[in-house]
Structure 1
Amino acid sequence: MKLYFKTAILTAIIIFLFLVSFAVGFTITIEKSKIKSKQQLKGKNITEIAYIKDSYPQRIDENTILIVRKYFKACGHIVEEKSNIPQEYFGMVKEDFRRLFSAWEIDAFNSKYVVISRIFEGYCSHHFIVSIKDGRVAIFYSQPVDGDNLKLITPYKY
């Protein structure tokens, strides 16, 4: 009986020490993460760390960049164009912008940039078609550029 009692006490002490060491380790880990977070915030501008609620509508301003992504199914290419957003869009919120560009997906919308994308059938403008026009060899864009498919007519006759 004495051996059983000693074994039970020893087991209880080991379990108790394990739980205490676990609790101490957990507490130390939590405190280190708090210190690290405070060090990351030190020296930051308040606007860099402020939390902006979703209920606050983001608006387009004069510094907003417009990124247009066009995905072409036939060739698999993605054409991306970046530009300053036109002045007539200044002050718009996402819903206003969505109404104007209803055929496009709005991938991102904030005061720094607006990203819209759309999938097109066919090929991007980096592909050409060689054919005959007026008895000469001609090169056409696969998709119209500025409303025209013709890129150039060569001096070579067919």
Structure 2
Amino acid sequence: MKKIISYKMVPIYIFAIFLGAMTGYLISVKQNEMEREAKSAKYEKPFSIQQEALAKRADFYKKLIFKTKYLENGEVVREEQKLTPSLYGKSKEELEKIYSGWKVIKFDDEEIVLYREKEGLPPDYYIISVVDGYVALLKSDGNGHKEIVEKTDIPLESLTPFDRERVMKNIITKDKDEAYQILANLSS
């Protein structure tokens, strides 16, 4: 009977598997990078001669800062970017029209700060709550919505009065591992 696997070929097989895994990993990393760049890409109209002249001044060092306060937990999320050429020379009132729903709270030579308040939690927060009488793990999307990550088999009635009250009021955490640790503690 002929041997199916030659022991001399094992290192070659392992190397081929390793090479395939690394190739897949690198392709995945490159694809994620391209998606991230596509999300952050800003499409702008060609700017006028006046805007081009303003760009040659120090205005292009100006920062555009977006601050969003999430009302459910009070956290303020800050996003910063450089001022785009299409915004050069715009007044405070013009910026508030362009960015409807935002209020300009700072407008000086160094930075422009836009502020808004939103219902819900910032994106990627985890919430331990009750769904259909059972403890569940939810995840916020940053727009006031929550999606179910996992519905456990822990009935609300099986919890201690203290834990039941905490879950009914929602236990909020930013860390997924911490959320699973809390779930583990609730189930014991």
TM-score range (shorter-chain normalised) is 0.3 to 0.5
Structure-1-length-normalised TM-score: 0.45
Name the one with the larger strand percent: 1
Query: 1 or 2, which has the higher helix percentage?
Result: 2
Bigger Rg over Cα? 1
* TM-score when normalising by structure 2: 0.39
